[in-house]
Amino acid sequence: KQLLKDQCDLSKLAELPLARRQMLLLEALKVKQVVLESIPTFLKLPIAVTCYWLQSTEAKAKLHHLQALLLGMLREPLHAIVNSPGNVDSAPRQAQCLAPRYL
């Protein structure tokens, strides 16, 4: 709350350093930086917003809500991994390496 009090002129928000703006956003979302430390960069904002939503909503989120959010967040990265050219080329070699062990 202290950061928000110190920086109450939002018209100058863009002039603040990025780290300060991030701190203000996390404070507004009521999320601590430590919660996001192990999260990949591209997921930090969606996770922070989800944390805020779960803490602030009167209606309780159900498991299928969270599953839908996670699926939406991870769809593109997983699609890129599965469809990367390296996966197609390495799959037969991996299978050849494993075959003698298990056959």
> Where is average pLDDT lowest: 3-12, 14-23, 66-75?
3-12
d(CA 15, CA 20): 10
Higher model confidence: residue 95 or residue 6?
6
| Unique residue bearing structure tokens 């050849």 | 96
Residue 27 has pLDDT above 90, yes or no: yes
d(CA 89, CA 22): 41
d(CA 41, CA 55): 22
pLDDT at 5: 54
Short-list 41, 40, 6, CA closest to 21 = 6
Higher model confidence: residue 79 or residue 21?
21
DSSP 38: T
Predicted structure pTM score: 0.61
Higher model confidence: residue 19 or residue 87?
19
